């Protein structure tokens, strides 16, 4: 392979490694000192990079902590977009949520108690988490509108997105609550699973046939 063919790959690999090093250093400092008491300069020093490098990778301080923020926002919409032929939006989201509980997905709130406590103790992080969930709901409404060929996004899709995202948000909150209480992840998943099933069952009569993908 030519040098011109390998250089972009090496560059991307180095960027990922730098981003991960910054994120890991930031999380450690935030857990040890608290999010609000830790500065970007301190994160940069701990990661061995310049302060500008930190802000280039993470323009918002909160996203140093929520390094999966893009995946969190995109998860619901991506699940709807990737639903199987004959599968409704509700069925796809139910499937994804229950599978996420089984694998202890961080995007459903699974984390260590130190991580959860850091969020709980920081109004800035709590506000950012609410914002990420709101952005996820907006993206879901857009995906639903795309699925039913509705442009611009109308009232029905916004309501459907609000109902479906509410289940996801409730699951996340319960996982987080139990994490803060010191429960093990396997026990949390077992406890939350039936509640999630019941919530989706209650929505079945309202949204069970909404946004079914054509076979």
**Which helix H or strand E contains 23, and what residues bound it?**
helix 3-33
- In this prediction, what percent of the chain has a pLDDT beyond 70? 96
The predicted-structure confidence for 110-138, as pLDDT tens digits, reads as follows 999 999 999 999 999 999 999 999 999 99
The pLDDT assigned to 2 comes to 41
The pLDDT assigned to 10 comes to 85
Average pLDDT over residues 185-199: 98
Nearest in space to 73 (alpha carbons), one of 134, 162, 2: 134
The predicted-structure confidence for 45-101, as pLDDT tens digits, reads as follows 999 999 999 999 999 999 999 988 999 999 999 999 999 999 999 999 999 999 999
CA 15 to each of CA 54, 63, 191, 199: distance values in angstroms, whole numbers, following the listed order: 11, 16, 39, 41
User: Residue 8 — very low, low, confident or very high, per pLDDT cuts 50/70/90?
Assistant: low
Q: Name the DSSP class of 67.
A: T
- Is 141's pLDDT higher than 60? yes
The pLDDT assigned to 11 comes to 86
- Is 176's pLDDT higher than 90? yes
Average pLDDT, the chain: 94
User: Residue 4 — very low, low, confident or very high, per pLDDT cuts 50/70/90?
Assistant: very low
The model's pTM: 0.89
Average pLDDT over residues 155-163: 97
**125 vs 140: CA distance, rounded Å:** 22
CA 24 to each of CA 28, 30, 48, 60, 198: distance values in angstroms, whole numbers, following the listed order: 6, 10, 12, 16, 37
Average pLDDT over residues 137-165: 96
The predicted-structure confidence for 9-42, as pLDDT tens digits, reads as follows 888 889 999 999 999 999 999 999 999 999 999 9
Average pLDDT over residues 192-204: 98
123-128 LR contacts (CB < 8 Å, sep 24+):
123/36, 124/35, 124/36, 124/61, 124/62, 125/35, 125/62, 125/65, 125/66, 128/60, 128/62, 128/63, 128/66, 128/69
**120 vs 2: CA distance, rounded Å:** 50
DSSP per residue over 72-131, as a string? HHHHHHHHHHTPPTT--HHHHHHHHHHHHHHTT-GGGT---HHHHHHHHH-HHHHHHHHH
- Is 3's pLDDT higher than 70? no
């Amino acid at each position: 392979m030519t040098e011109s063919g390998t250089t972009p790959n090496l560059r991307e690999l180095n960027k990922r490694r730098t981003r991960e090093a910054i994120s890991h250093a930031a999380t450690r400092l935030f857990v040890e000192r608290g999010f609000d008491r830790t500065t970007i300069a301190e994160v940069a020093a701990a990661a061995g990079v310049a302060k500008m490098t930190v802000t280039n990778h993470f323009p918002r301080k909160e996203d140093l902590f929520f390094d999966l923020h893009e995946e969190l926002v995109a998860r619901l919409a991506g699940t709807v977009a990737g639903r199987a032929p004959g599968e409704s939006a509700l069925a796809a989201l139910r499937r994804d949520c229950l599978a996420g509980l089984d694998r202890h997905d961080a995007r459903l709130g699974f984390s260590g108690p130190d991580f959860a406590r850091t969020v709980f103790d920081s109004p800035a992080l709590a506000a950012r988490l609410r914002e990420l969930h709101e952005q996820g709901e907006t993206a879901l409404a857009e995906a639903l509108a795309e699925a039913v060929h509705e442009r611009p996004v109308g009232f029905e899709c916004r309501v459907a997105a609000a109902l479906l995202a509410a289940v996801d948000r409730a699951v996340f909150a319960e996982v987080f609550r139990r994490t803060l209480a010191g429960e093990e992840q396997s026990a949390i998943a077992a406890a939350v699973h039936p509640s999630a099933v019941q919530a989706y069952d209650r929505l079945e009569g309202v949204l069970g046939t909404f946004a079914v993908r054509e076979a």
